[in-house]
């Protein structure tokens, strides 16, 4: 049985939809705007199972307003990093950087880094809450990570499309 939160009565836009899966790993609905986007999303993800990512079925996933997708394991990794190192970084917050080469000899390669920056210098529009951790993600990194999954597996961060 599939459970969905449907359209609200004020103009046909989805207000709050969670990423739901049925038992076979098909994604059903994510946050979307308007009925066309919802139908397109349902078609694309109903016909293509999630198992192609090589991720465990039923994995907890969340989406930030900038389009970055992260797993519950990644959120727990950031939380543990904050607990371990946060005492040494008063007035600072975590910063997530991501670079991916599109062309040239290193095309297709990507690098990520989690570091500490002064919270006063972080733009509030580029600050996000991942789990219970505040994180700054630069706009270029947001563009590079849009529609990509951040996951913590095997002692390392994995970025997947």
Residue 122: CATH number of its domain: 2.60.300.12
Same domain, 81 and 140: yes
Same domain, 90 and 136: yes
Same domain, 141 and 74: yes
DSSP-based three-state secondary structure for 122: coil
Expressed in angstroms, the distance from the first to the final Cα of the chain is: 28
DSSP letter at 48 equals: S
Q: Is residue 126 scored above 70 in pLDDT?
A: yes
Same domain, 77 and 142: yes
Unique residue bearing structure tokens 């570091």: 115
Q: Are 94 and 135 in contact (CB under 8 A)?
A: yes
Backbone angles phi, psi at 98, to 5 degrees: -145, 130
Structural domain harbouring 140: 63-160
Q: Where are the beta strands (DSSP E) in 31-109?
A: 61-63, 69-71, 92-100
DSSP-based three-state secondary structure for 108: coil
The residues, any chain, with a CB within 8 Å of residue 110's CB and separated by 6 or more, are 98, 99, 100, 101, 144, 159
Of 33, 57, 81, which residue constitutes the final position of a domain? 57
Same domain, 2 and 28: yes
Of 17, 33, 57, which residue constitutes the final position of a domain? 57
Same domain, 147 and 75: yes
The predicted pLDDT at position 108 comes to 84
Same domain, 69 and 95: yes
Higher per-residue confidence, 48 vs 154: 154
Same domain, 110 and 142: yes
Q: Are 131 and 79 in contact (CB under 8 A)?
A: yes
Q: With bands split at pLDDT 50, 70 and 90, how would you rate the model's confidence at 51?
A: very low
Same domain, 87 and 143: yes
Q: With bands split at pLDDT 50, 70 and 90, how would you rate the model's confidence at 56?
A: low
Same domain, 80 and 146: yes
The predicted pLDDT at position 80 comes to 95
The predicted pLDDT at position 101 comes to 87
Total count of domains within the chain: 2
Please state the pTM of the whole predicted model: 0.64
The residues, any chain, with a CB within 8 Å of residue 35's CB and separated by 6 or more, are 7, 12
The residues, any chain, with a CB within 8 Å of residue 101's CB and separated by 6 or more, are 107, 108, 109, 110
Same domain, 32 and 110: no
């Amino acid at each position: 049985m599939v459970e969905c939160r449907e359209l609200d009565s004020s103009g046909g836009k989805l207000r709050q939809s969670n990423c739901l899966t049925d038992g076979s790993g098909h994604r059903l609905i994510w946050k979307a705007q308007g009925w066309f986007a919802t139908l397109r999303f349902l078609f694309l993800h109903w016909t293509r199972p999630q198992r192609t990512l090589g991720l465990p079925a039923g994995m907890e996933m969340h989406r930030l307003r900038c389009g970055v997708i992260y797993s519950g394991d990644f959120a727990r990794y950031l939380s543990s990093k904050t607990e371990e190192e946060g005492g040494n970084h008063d007035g600072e917050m975590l910063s997530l950087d991501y670079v991916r080469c599109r062309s040239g000899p290193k095309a297709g390669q990507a690098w990520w880094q989690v570091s500490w920056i002064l919270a006063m210098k972080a733009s509030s529009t580029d600050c996000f809450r991942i789990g219970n951790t505040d994180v700054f993600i630069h706009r270029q990194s947001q563009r590079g990570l849009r529609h990509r999954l951040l996951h913590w597996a095997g002692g390392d961060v994995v970025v997947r499309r």
